[in-house]
Structures are given as structure tokens and as C-alpha cells.
Amino acid sequence: MKILNFGAGGFIGSHLTQRLLKEGHQVTAVDLHADKIDGILQHPSLIFIQQDIRDAGWHLDRLVKDADLVIDLVAHANPGLYVRIPLEVFRLNFTENLKIAEACVQHNRRLIQFSTCEVYGRTAATLKQAKVIDPDDPIHATFIEDESELILGPISKHRWIYSCAKQLLERVLHAYGLEKGFDYTIIRPFNFIGPKIDFLASEQKGIPRVFSFFMDALLKGMPIKLVDGGAQRRCYTYIDDAVDCIYRIVVNPNGVCQRQIFNIGSPRNEVSIRQLAEIMKEIYAVQFRAPDVPLPEIVDVSAVEFYGEGYEDSDRRIPDITKAQTLLQWQPKWGMREMLETTMSYFVKEYRSRRRYTPMTAED
């Protein structure tokens, strides 16, 4: 297939592009950056177009018309940005993505649209009026694609603009499906982790996701910061498991993915953010610790201190993956500890090779 992949230079996009090429597809990759795919830029089946999709008058239409399938991963996807640049989050994640979707509608091309598990918002158990007997029962935090309520906080908590922009895009795609027979599939990822996720927090401008803050703190011996105590819970999914599911959606056996929404996540890999910090610290101490860098302490910070005004967290989210299991026969395989070990090993090697650091041996 000729696949047009927007956001192919990002974390998920780089792994997916590699897989698409391995499966023999021709890929046109569009992104602002290519550093995460620089190892495959010379591949004969890859065309990389460095392009800001917000530019006026670029050849979006021609590219869409020329493709058999369009995948859209472009977004501002890090919570720090939702608080700092909410208008830009809305503009990119809704307005600009809508242009891609509408080009697909116009040229009758299938679209795989990346949305987010953040559309589910908070759990019903956190609502003031909630009368649940056991608020800790996972049933209150298990989200089902076509059934769960989507519960967002007040407008003043503008973190939710990301969730809201993605949700609105989902609703518009659904409406195009109803009115024009548009062929789309929506993916809601649940906290993927793996090599190439974001960047070490202190090394670039911007605000990465939690793994990259913790990894940075471990490598540099700086405090690991837990926002509001770290009781929030997430289910982490290894990128190889995720790409395996995404690829099944690309293949779309017998059209089963048409106009479907899929959660992609690993319900068994649930941890609190405090546990995430503790496991990463323990793995680092045993496997990667540099003798000249102290092991960091884990400290508490408030959300306002860390992100600024307007932040509100998702308390807990567990994916129901029955749909992907039954329609796509997909099953995530990676456990929490092994995905952290593999991802941390990648970042440690990458960091130390940049610094020409000599790693410790087992005898050290």
C-alpha cells in the first residue's frame, strides 16, 4: 500500500514507519523533524517531507489523493503544553487535523486518526455526587470505547482543551461517517512507553511526559518530582505491543476496523506514578547506576508548581481492550518491569554514548 503518515517523525510515528517499511509498504512521511527516523531516511520505499502542516497552501490535497491510506499522528501530545499553549493545542489538534480528515473525505481515502485515552477524562468515582461503594474497584476506571461517559473538568482547568479538541475531532469523523459514508478508524492510546519517547527533560526546551522526567532525574542525580503526591494511576503499554495492534488496524481484515474506535493499552500494567518512580529508581540502582552520580530522592511538588495554573489530572484510566482482542486477535505481551528495563537501557546507552561515558561493568 501507499501510506501517507503524518507525524511519522514522532515517538509512535517513528516505530510505526519502521514497521510499515518492514511489511513492504511505501511510506510518505510528513513531519517537522526527522531525527527519530534518521536511520531509515535512505530506505528506498520511504519519502520524507519536512513540512509544517499549518502552512497555508501546501500540497496536502495532492498527497492525500495519491495515497491508499492516511495515518494522522500529528498533535501537541504533552500535558505541559495543554497548560502553556492551550490555543495552539486546539489549533493543531483540531483545526489542522480536521483539514487532513476533510481531504480524506473529499478524495475518499481511508483515515486512521490518533486520538487519546484522555477523551475519557476523570473517573465517575471522583465526582462530588458519586455514591460508589468501593471507589477503588477497577470497574469505575475501566473505559469502554462505545459505552463510557466522557467526564471533563471545568473550563478554568484548561488542561482539558487537549481532550476536548481530540473528542470534537472524533465526533466530526463520526458525523462524516454517518452523512458521507467516510471510512475512518480512531485509535485511543493508553500511555505508550518505549525507546525514542520524547527527550530528556533538562536537555531540550519543552515539557516531556513523565518517563522522560524520571529518566532525566536518574541520569543526572536530580530529584524525582511527584506531582500532587503521585497517587494518580496509569496503565503503561510497550511500544512494540502498541505497533502490533496499530498494524492490525492498518491491515483491517475484512474491513472490521471501519468506523470503529479502538482502545490500545495494557490493562494489567497499572501503576501509580509513585510506584512508577520507585520501580524506575530500583531498576536504575541495580542495572545502570553511575558511580559518580548520586541516586536521586523522590520528592513531592504541587501541580501548580510543576505545570502552572490550569492543570488538573486524570486520576485513573484502565483500557477495556475487548474490541481489539475480538476483532483483531490482539493481546499485549509486555509487562511493566521488562518494558521499563528495555526503555531505560535505550536511554542510558544513548545518553552515555553522547557523553562518551564508560558504563559500569558487573565487577564495578
In the complex, the smallest distance separating the C-beta of residue 9 from ligand NAD, rounded to whole angstroms, is: 4
For ligand NAD, the closer CB: 241 or 341: 241
Distance CA 276, CA 186 (A): 28
* Strands (E) located in the chain: 2-6, 26-31, 46-50, 69-72, 110-114, 142-143, 184-189, 192-193, 224-227, 233-235, 237-238, 260-264, 270-272, 298-301, 318-319
**Looking at 3, 13, 172, 213, which residue binds ligand NAD (CB under 6 A)?**
13
Among ligand NAD, ligand UGA, none, partner that 316 touches (CB below 5 to 8 angstroms by kind): none
Of 25-33, 123-131, 188-196, 356-364, which segment contacts ligand UGA by CB under 6 A? 188-196
DSSP bridge partners of 237: 192
Of 46-54, 250-258, 278-286, 347-355, which segment contacts ligand NAD by CB under 6 A? 46-54
For ligand UGA, the closer CB: 60 or 200: 200
Q: Indicate the residue type of 82.
A: Y
Distance CA 288, CA 361 (A): 9
Question: Is position 247 annotated as part of the catalytic site?
Answer: no
CA 212, 270, 335 angle in degrees (round to 5)? 80
Find the binding residues for ligand NAD in span 190-219 (CB under 6 A).
191-192
Is 343 a binding residue for ligand UGA by CB under 6 A? The answer is: no
For ligand UGA, the closer CB: 182 or 351: 351
For ligand UGA, the closer CB: 79 or 86: 79
Cβ neighbours of residue 332 closer than 8 Å, sequence gap 6 or more? 237, 238, 241, 242, 245, 265, 266, 268, 269, 321
Is 31 a binding residue for ligand UGA by CB under 6 A? The answer is: no
Is 210 a binding residue for ligand UGA by CB under 6 A? The answer is: yes
Cell 511526559 belongs to residue = 209
In the complex, the smallest distance separating the C-beta of residue 356 from ligand NAD, rounded to whole angstroms, is: 27
Distance CA 48, CA 31 (A): 8
For ligand UGA, the closer CB: 37 or 165: 165
For residues 265 and 235, the answer to whether their CB atoms sit within 8 Å is yes
Distance CA 268, CA 333 (A): 10
**Looking at 4, 10, 40, 167, which residue binds ligand NAD (CB under 6 A)?**
10
DSSP bridge partners of 2: 26
Is 79 a binding residue for ligand UGA by CB under 6 A? The answer is: yes
Distance CA 211, CA 344 (A): 9
H helices present in 267-312, as ranges: 273-283, 303-307
Among ligand NAD, ligand UGA, none, partner that 225 touches (CB below 5 to 8 angstroms by kind): ligand UGA
Among ligand NAD, ligand UGA, none, partner that 114 touches (CB below 5 to 8 angstroms by kind): ligand NAD
- Distances in whole angstroms, Cα of residue 136 to Cα of each of 53, 177, 316: 43, 37, 10
* Chain contacts with ligand UGA (rule: CB under 6 A): 77-79, 116-118, 189-191, 209-210, 213, 225-227, 230, 232, 234, 273, 313-314
* Chain contacts with ligand NAD (rule: CB under 6 A): 7, 9-13, 31-33, 52-54, 73-75, 77, 92, 114, 116-117, 189, 191-192
Query: What are the residue numbers of the active site?
Result: 162
